[in-house]
Chains A and B, each alone.
Chain A
Amino acid sequence: MKIAIIDYGMGNLRSVEKAFEHVGASGAFVTDDPAAVRTADKAVLPGDGAFDATMDRLRESGVADVVKEFAASGRPFLGICVGMQCLLTSSDEGRQGVVGLDLVPGRVRRFSGGDGLKVPQIGWNELQFPAPSPLFQGLNAADMVYFLHSFYCVPADPATVTATANYGLDYCAGLQAGNIFATQFHPEKSGQVGLAILRNFSRL
């Protein structure tokens, strides 16, 4: 079982790799080689930082095409944090007019804050599961995971939303569109709950 963790010069890749190893998915490896991603059984797109800078980097490095190809192949794909946001069509963050990977139609919006809510949201928040997804199998409502973000995804099709959290509003914390999975939170930094999610992904 080869799980390619895609390195495009951004993001905290080591933690993701170690978390997979910790749950017994020893075939997880970090790579920036498109050929290695193409031949993997599963792929993970982590991310930190701004949407526009990340999309620039994905395009410059050729990773954008590899991801689209991989997603179209039907193999399980997981986007994390900004790696989730990049799957959508567009974002309010950074330069306007930057197009996302558009694998999941929708828009990325900014938290409005206010009411004592700090932006970015940095910390643990509770999950709810509006629709079942194999990614979240075995988890319980109100399980807490670690978020670190100012922007959140609004998929055009609400049926793709498989987890929500509340931060002034209910927002999409996890999604699934066929073989494409994504989490706004960082499963690799979410203790036992996060490790369970990565274990689920490794067993898909």
Chain B
Amino acid sequence: MSQVLLAGPLGEVTKSVLSEAAFLFCDELSEGAAPLEARLVEATITFEGATPGRITLRLPWHVACEAAANLLGAEPGDDDVEANAHAAVGELLNMISGSALERWFGSGSQWSLGLPSVSEREGRLPSSAPRGELVALAIDDARIELEASLGSVT
């Protein structure tokens, strides 16, 4: 499968998962949208199978906290929201990846999804040197990004 075939389905499942699971509604990123310099949460998951690869999700910190609050049924300022922001982003990526793999390869194909790893950093979106295909969306004008790549993940 060529890299260019990854983005469309990945964008669609991301919109679906974020709205269904976390009540986060994505819009298409408007052309000429400004880059984002922000505290970011980044989650990456790898998958093995006939076609191995990796998917990365990058969200601004405040969107990660909003996701955690919505998943937990809590208010954004509640004590455990920030503590669960990383776990929330990892779990959302897990959900997105399961759906994306099914869309890309079909449920009859064999693959094995790894565990998400989550980190936090000051960073810039769009990523300056992506290793895969980028999908950029907006949640309340905040830029979020997914990056998908096929090939060896070692």
- Our verdict on whether A and B bind, yes or no, reads no
Measured CB to CB, the residues of A under 8 A from B are: none
